[in-house]
Amino acid sequence: MFRDLRLSEQINFALGISIVSLTASIIAVYYARSRAQATRGSFLLSAFNKSLGELGTKEARKYRRYIHQNFPEYISEHYSSKEGKEVTLWVKSGDSRPQPKSVRVKHLEEEDIEAFEEIAVRADRIGFMFYSLEPSKKLEKKYFSWLCVMFCEIWNKLAPHIILRRKERSGGGEEEPQPVYFTPYFERLVYDVYEYYKKLIGENVRIFCLNPECSVELD
């Protein structure tokens, strides 16, 4: 009888130890997961802050200001020029189907080229960082809402030069598809933020697309 009682006590004790160990393990896993999520969140914020610095530095602001002051309003319905190389883009306005628009692209002087390349490449780095990190939908919404105007307005100034740069690098003709290897993440970023741009500026606000589908596939 006493032997059975001692055996029962040992079993209960072992069971209690197992329960405590299991509970401790669950708490440890939860804590580790919480720490991992917090670490990822901190990493995301740090990465975003660093990437946004690409366009927020004093030098970058100088280039952006230069572009706004010296590059044509290609997207405007009133823009017209007989000088420069002609390229075809597509204008997206609201939910309507993008319409083709041919524009003559301003010849860039050395100072123009420097500003163009600096801002286009910096914006592309931001896009690369954003899509590589795969942030949550909540963060994506805040990010797009906050930066959509800056991205879209600078894009409309640079898009004709971007498509011309791709065309010249590929050696392709006007009707041949252009490979996407110059600032593709900048391009996708603009297409993705457009819905937020519409909400802030108006349904019929316009952006340039580099193809009729207003889309770009990234590896």
- Tens of pLDDT, residue by residue over 80-113, are 999 999 999 999 999 999 999 999 999 999 999 9
Looking at the fold, whether 9 and 90 belong to one and the same domain comes out as: no
Query: Looking at the chain, how many residues does it have?
Result: 219
The answer as to whether 215 is a domain residue is no
| pTM (2 d.p.) | 0.76
Looking at the fold, whether 119 and 73 belong to one and the same domain comes out as: yes
Looking at the fold, whether 46 and 24 belong to one and the same domain comes out as: yes
CB atoms within 10 A of CB 150: 15
- pLDDT single digits (tens) 180-203: 679 999 999 999 999 999 999 998
Looking at the fold, whether 125 and 79 belong to one and the same domain comes out as: yes
- pLDDT single digits (tens) 53-75: 677 788 999 999 999 999 999 99
Looking at the fold, whether 134 and 202 belong to one and the same domain comes out as: yes
Distances (CA, A) of 139 to 45, 176, 188, 214: 10, 38, 17, 23
- pLDDT single digits (tens) 135-182: 788 888 888 888 899 999 999 999 999 999 998 887 655 555 455 679
- pLDDT single digits (tens) 108-127: 999 999 999 999 999 999 89
The answer as to whether 152 is a domain residue is yes
Looking at the fold, whether 110 and 5 belong to one and the same domain comes out as: no
Looking at the fold, whether 84 and 164 belong to one and the same domain comes out as: yes
Q: Which of 136, 128, 134, 141 is nearest to 196 (CA)?
A: 141
The answer as to whether 214 is a domain residue is no
Residue 25, domain extent: 1-56
The answer as to whether 195 is a domain residue is yes
Q: Which of 147, 145, 139 is nearest to 43 (CA)?
A: 139
The answer as to whether 217 is a domain residue is no
Count up the domains in the chain and report the number: 2
Confidence of residue 22 (pLDDT cuts 50, 70, 90): very low
Residues 6+ apart with CB under 8 A from 156: 73, 74, 75, 206, 207, 208
**Amino acid 65: pLDDT:** 96
Looking at the fold, whether 81 and 22 belong to one and the same domain comes out as: no
Q: Which of 31, 56, 81 is the last residue of a domain?
A: 56
Looking at the fold, whether 41 and 68 belong to one and the same domain comes out as: no
Q: Which of 56, 71, 90 is the last residue of a domain?
A: 56
Q: How many CA atoms lie within 13 A of 119 on its CB side?
A: 30
Torsion of CA 113, 117, 119, 122, to 10 degrees: -160
Looking at the fold, whether 46 and 79 belong to one and the same domain comes out as: no
Looking at the fold, whether 85 and 16 belong to one and the same domain comes out as: no
Looking at the fold, whether 73 and 3 belong to one and the same domain comes out as: no
